[in-house]
């Protein structure tokens, strides 16, 4: 796809804003902020999904906490449809900061000749959307809204049962995507703008990769208690965890083992020091009822897997996880710490891999999972409203399975 911003000089980093063009700076910072948020959340999602693809019989720390030299073992295959501004920025962040090798990323675009930098890094660039969808575990839609219906019609039959579609095309609603793709394994982040919040974090002078090495920027993109002018609706975060459970189900893991592995990813035990352990309560842990209702949970045997979750319904309806996150400050704090820790460790690995031998100690970059981050249930979630403007009338009011 063509880069829409290529010929818009006022949106380029080297364009100097004059005093009479202050409104352009405001719009430009919003555009940069949306790009940074979209890339940050996509990287976090891929990190979580990668963790679920590890062999359960091998005891490993989560991939986000491993040394950079081990990242060549990653197995998540990432496809990007669209080689415009968002598609290229996403690919750069996944390669440079996310630590995904080029062989794990493919880009399908009408103009692969405009992506000369990526083949040099091992990324396969071509124009064949069906081929890409048949190969990838997760497909990011970064195309123009007017092209999306045709792309969906072209690729929906190529989707694997385990494939996940992640749409960064904001103009197409989630129910419409579900209809076009004949799939319920779709994530679509929904961003809102906060009046009065500063936009200085999203200055165009920083590249996206550089911006996401800044703890203040990462905190501003955090899906729980984001402090920036741009916030993502928390239903996206719920879909990330339900997608992780679907990944475990694809591997035929019993729900008890899936919970064990997910808790190990989200609530690492090696964060606290001995002195802190005496002062801090134990970290929270997900249980079966965190994701499904008690009646259904009681019917499961230890060898049963979790049911297959409809990710579109998760984002449109109230779920047990909605209620848990809305009422439990400890879960909010722990997941917010998990999010920030992912980027702290990625930034440390990035710094080391680029020639800085003074590696940051793990204890220096990990945040305490139960540390109070100034979040409250009311300020982060308030209530758990149904998104009735997008939900279809045929769907139930509660997500039970």
Phi, psi dihedrals of residue 125, rounded to the nearest 5°: -115, 130
| pLDDT for the residue 11 | 46
Contacts of residue 226, Cβ cutoff 8 Å, sequence gap at least 6:
219, 220, 232
Q: What is the pLDDT of residue 136?
A: 96
Task: Please tell me the predicted confidence (pLDDT) of residue 300.
Answer: 94
Residues 43/96, Cβ–Cβ less than 8 Å: no
How far apart, in Å, do the first and last CA atoms of the chain sit? 38
More confident residue, 192 or 8: 192
In tens, the pLDDT along 151-207 reads 999 999 999 888 999 999 988 999 999 999 999 999 999 998 876 555 666 665 568
Q: What are the phi and psi torsion angles at 377 (to 5°)?
A: -60, -40
111-165 pLDDT, tens digit each = 999 999 999 999 999 999 999 999 999 999 999 999 999 999 999 999 988 899 9
The strand pair at 230-232 and 105-108 is best described as unpaired
CA distances from 379 to 207, 238, 240, 283, 375 (A): 31, 17, 21, 21, 7
Q: What is the pLDDT of residue 119?
A: 95
Sign of the alpha-carbon torsion through 119, 121, 124, 126? negative
Q: How is the chain split into domains, by residue range?
A: 9-236, 239-380
pLDDT reading at 70 higher than 80: no
Residue-level pLDDT at 216:
86
pLDDT at 383 over 90: no
Region 354-358: mean pLDDT is: 55
Lowest mean pLDDT across 59-68, 69-78, 300-309, 335-344:
59-68
**Residue 120, Cβ neighbours under 10 Å: how many?**
8
110/65 Cα distance (integer angstroms)? 37
Is the pLDDT at 238 greater than 90? The verdict is yes
Calculate the CA 249 to chain-centre distance: 20
- If pLDDT is split at 50, 70 and 90, which confidence band does 284 have? confident
Task: Give dist(CA 334, CA 336) in Å, integer.
Answer: 5
Class of the CATH domain delimited by 9-236: alpha beta
Q: Which residue has the higher pLDDT, 207 or 21?
A: 207
Q: How many Å is the Cα radius of gyration of the chain? A: 21
* Long-range contacts (CB closer than 8 Å, 24 or more residues apart) made by 109-118: 109/1, 109/81, 109/82, 109/83, 109/84, 110/1, 110/2, 110/83, 111/1, 111/2, 111/83, 112/83, 114/2, 114/3, 114/83, 115/83, 115/88, 118/91
Q: Is the pLDDT of residue 253 over 70?
A: yes
- H or E, element range at 107: strand 105-108
Task: Using DSSP, state whether 159 is helix, strand or coil.
Answer: coil
Distance CA 129, CA 337 (A): 37
The HSE-up count of residue 96 (CA atoms within 13 Å, CB side) is 19
DSSP state for residue 280 in the 8-state scheme: S
Which of 12-26, 278-292, 385-399 reaches the highest mean pLDDT?
A: 278-292
The average pLDDT across 327-348 equals: 91
What was the pLDDT predicted at 93? Answer: 96
What are the φ and ψ backbone dihedral angles of 310, each rounded to 5 degrees? -80, 105
283: left (phi over 0), alpha (psi -120 to 50) or beta: beta
Q: Quick check: 358 pLDDT over 70?
A: no
What average pLDDT does the chain have?
A: 79
| Number of other CB atoms surrounding residue 134 within 10 Å | 16
């Amino acid at each position: 796809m063509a880069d829409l911003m290529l010929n818009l000089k006022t949106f380029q980093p080297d364009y100097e804003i004059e005093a009479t063009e202050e409104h352009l700076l405001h719009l430009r910072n919003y555009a940069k902020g949306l790009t940074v948020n979209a890339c940050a959340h996509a990287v976090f999602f891929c990190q979580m999904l990668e963790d679920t693809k590890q062999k359960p019989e091998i005891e490993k720390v989560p991939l986000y906490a491993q040394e950079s030299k081990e990242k060549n073992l990653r197995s998540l295959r990432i496809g990007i449809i669209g080689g415009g501004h968002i598609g290229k920025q996403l690919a750069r962040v996944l390669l440079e900061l996310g630590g995904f090798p080029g062989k794990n990323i493919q880009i399908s675009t009408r103009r692969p000749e405009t992506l000369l930098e990526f083949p040099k890094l091992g990324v396969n660039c071509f124009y064949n959307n069906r081929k890409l969808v048949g190969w990838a575990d997760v497909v990011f839609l970064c195309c123009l809204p007017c092209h999306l219906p045709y792309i969906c019609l072209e690729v929906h039959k190529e989707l694997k049962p385990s494939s996940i579609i992640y749409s960064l095309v904001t103009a197409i609603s989630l129910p419409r995507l579900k209809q076009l793709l004949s799939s319920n394994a779709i994530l679509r982040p929904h961003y809102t703008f906060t009046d009065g919040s500063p936009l200085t974090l999203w200055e165009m002078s920083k590249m996206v990769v550089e911006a996401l090495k800044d703890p203040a920027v990462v905190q501003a993109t955090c899906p729980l208690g984001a402090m920036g002018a741009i916030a993502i609706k928390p239903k996206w975060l719920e879909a990330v965890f339900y997608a992780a459970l679907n990944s475990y189900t694809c591997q035929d893991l019993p729900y008890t083992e899936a919970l064990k592995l997910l808790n190990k990813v989200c609530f690492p035990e090696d964060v606290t020091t001995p002195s802190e352990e005496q002062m801090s309560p134990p970290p929270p842990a997900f249980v079966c009822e965190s994701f499904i209702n008690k009646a259904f949970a009681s019917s499961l045997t230890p060898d049963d897997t979790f049911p297959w979750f409809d990710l579109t319904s998760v984002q449109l309806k109230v779920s047990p996880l909605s209620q848990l996150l809305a009422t439990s400050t400890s879960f909010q704090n722990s997941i917010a710490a998990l999010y920030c820790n992912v980027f702290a460790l990625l930034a440390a690995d990035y710094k080391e891999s680029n020639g800085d031998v003074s590696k940051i100690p793990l204890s220096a970059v990990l945040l305490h999972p139960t540390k109070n981050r100034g979040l409250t249930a009311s300020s982060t979630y308030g209530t758990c409203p149904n998104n009735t403007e997008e939900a279809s009338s045929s769907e139930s009011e509660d997500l039970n399975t």
